[in-house]
């Protein structure tokens, strides 16, 4: 009897966590809502900007494999593992984020990430490649796949926490996360080159993370100020536009300063 009650309680709890993922009405509402797609775009953007260096680390891990085919296969298995873990952690996150204590801890953690970045104390994620001399329990291929999965787990904590602070709808967070993972893996090199050409994008992303931390903190019951997710999505789009304007203005000023700089005898 007790075991039956425990099983029923467990099934009810799992239904609360993951039931929204299987609601056709929820999916229809998200897919047909322009505001929700604006939020999804914001989540994908933040995922890509914050995870591009992670993609480089994951790609580097595959270099210990002898053939290009094995490297591609390891990333293929890795991305499916990332999807499965993202599904699990979003379900848990949507439950835990309802507790104000979790919101405070999450806000402080995101604020700490921002502090690390702007104080130049941010630790770069690194992972030693699998060495041939190292004793392995698993074959080389599956050792690399396992390392990729572990990195995906570590890297996804930040983005899921930030995503849930923007939207509490797990379907929105799931779609944004899945598209973000795929985009991050597929266009990591393009995003890296874009961020090299527009260096203002990286600090802009961390400023947004700071705003997300504030949004999460002020939503606790003691303050109870809720910023609509659609409004925050508009803020993200506005931040991108403002960043591009700042980049263009700085570039023009730099070009003008270069033109106005007097030519020395050595340069003639």
Residue 126 in this model has a pLDDT that exceeds 60: no
Average pLDDT over residues 171-192: 74
Q: Share the mean pLDDT of the chain.
A: 76
**Contact in structure between 42 and 48 (CB atoms under 8 Å):** no
> Which single residue is written with the structure tokens 């953690």?
109
> What is the distance of C-alpha 191 from the center of its chain?
14
- How long is the chain? 268
| pLDDT per residue as tens digits for the range 99-121 | 788 888 888 888 887 888 888 75
pLDDT at residue 128, as a whole number: 41
Q: Taking the domains of the chain in order of start, what are their residue ranges? A: 27-256
Residue 123 is predicted with a pLDDT of 46
Q: Return the higher-pLDDT residue of 100 and 248.
A: 248
């Amino acid at each position: 009897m007790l075991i039956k009650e425990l099983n029923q309680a467990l099934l009810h709890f799992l239904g609360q966590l993951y039931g929204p993922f299987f609601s056709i009405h929820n999916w229809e509402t998200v897919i047909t809502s322009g505001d929700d797609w604006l939020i999804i775009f914001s989540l994908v953007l933040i995922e890509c900007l914050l995870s591009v260096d992670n993609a480089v680390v994951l790609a580097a891990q595959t270099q210990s494999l002898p053939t290009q085919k094995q490297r591609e296969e390891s990333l293929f298995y890795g991305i499916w593992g990332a999807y499965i873990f993202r599904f699990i952690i979003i379900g848990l996150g949507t439950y835990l984020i309802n507790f104000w204590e979790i919101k405070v801890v999450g806000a402080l953690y995101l604020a700490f990430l921002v502090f690390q970045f702007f104080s130049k104390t941010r630790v770069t994620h690194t992972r030693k490649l699998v060495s041939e001399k190292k004793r392995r329990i698993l074959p080389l291929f599956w050792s690399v796949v396992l390392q990729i999965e572990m990195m995906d787990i570590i890297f996804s904590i930040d983005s899921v926490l930030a995503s849930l602070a923007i939207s509490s709808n797990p379907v929105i967070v799931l779609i944004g996360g899945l598209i973000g993972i795929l985009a991050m893996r597929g266009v990591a090199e393009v995003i890296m080159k874009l961020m090299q050409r527009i260096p203002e994008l990286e600090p802009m992303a961390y400023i947004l993370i700071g705003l997300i931390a504030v949004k999460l903190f002020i939503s606790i019951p003691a303050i109870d100020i809720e910023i609509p997710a659609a409004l925050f999505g508009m803020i993200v789009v506005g931040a991108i536009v403002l960043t591009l304007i700042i980049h263009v203005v700085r570039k023009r000023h730099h070009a003008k300063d270069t033109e106005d700089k007097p030519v020395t005898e050595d340069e003639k």
